[in-house]
Amino acid sequence: MEVTSNRLELKNILASLNANNYAQEVALVPTMGALHQGHLSLIDKALEKTEQVIATIFVNPFQFGANEDFAHYPKDITKDLEMLSKAGVKVVFTPNVGEMYPEGFSTNISIGPLARAFCGAARPEHFDGVCLVVSKLFNLIQPQYGVFGEKDFQQLFIIKKMVSELDMPIKIIGAPTIRNDDGLALSSRNSYLNTQQRKIASQLYARMCTLAEWLQAGMRFKDARAQTCQLLLEDGFSKIDYLDMVDQNSLDCIEIVNSSARLLIALYLDNIRLIDNIKVIT
Ligand code: AMP
């Protein structure tokens, strides 16, 4: 496995990979590091397409708001590289901020109103920042495939939309959410949770599954949502940011369950923000 933090060196590594593997496709798995089994499941998904899997580790400042955790985002590069090497990744790109955004960098990507909906309401810079870094990585690496987790469902949707609208010749593959035994979706940010908070967090997936059952049984979304929010607050969550039912093919909010219905939630445990989503009918 080759590792580089330098764009030029990356180009050279990719060129020699291409020369040695004529016509082999490349799959890209972008990450922010502090890797877990969820990330590795994306690598596996990428390996189903091609042996040439490139991973990136970059904590992108443009997708963090001023009061968010950019400076404290968990890091363990040694462990990450060990995991990626074992998983069968060919190249890892680990740029620093200056390498990605040299002095004077000012280009932006604006993806429109969806950037302000759901998670974007509380994090207005987030999705434009994600699209900027993902576009840059696509241009640097020129993969045929990009693999992203359904854990960040709005992000996956927005990246598919950007790729389609900007005619990027890349197929975006979504990978299912990997969860702990108690249902909590794996996340690098779970390391922020203390024992008590971790116990409360484990209620989230169960509450979402119950909500889906109520909806399948014909309960009105408005009522089922209100009851679920109440229960989550009783469980110990501090604040519900949003809990919506959307059509997963449009991200339009819906009130009546259909086969594409998906529940999206973001909520706070003290100052720790958790997100999750599930299909209503699996
Ligand atoms: P991050 O390092 O948090 O930026 O995540 C990098 C990629 O891993 C994104 O495409 C995420 O959606 C995906 N991911 C994060 N957590 C999970 C999980 N529990 N299951 C599947 N994919 C995940």
pLDDT tens-digit readout, 33-61: 999 999 999 999 999 999 999 999 999 99
What does residue 240 show for φ and ψ, rounded to 5 degrees?
Answer: -95, 120
What is the distance in A from the centroid of ligand 1 to the CA of 252? 23
Q: How far apart are CA 191 and CA 25, in angstroms?
A: 35
Please name the residue whose Cα sits nearest to atom 14 of ligand 1: 149
Please name the residue whose Cα sits nearest to atom 12 of ligand 1: 149
Q: How far apart are CA 46 and CA 29, in angstroms?
A: 8
pLDDT tens-digit readout, 125-161: 999 999 999 999 999 999 999 999 999 999 999 999 9
Q: Determine whether 39 is an active site residue.
A: yes
Q: How far apart are CA 204 and CA 274, in angstroms?
A: 9
For residue 277 and ligand 1, the question of a CB distance below 6 A is answered with no
Single pTM value for the model: 0.98
Q: Helices 77-87 and 37-49 sit at what angle, rounded to 10 degrees?
A: 30
What is the distance in A from the centroid of ligand 1 to the CA of 73? 14
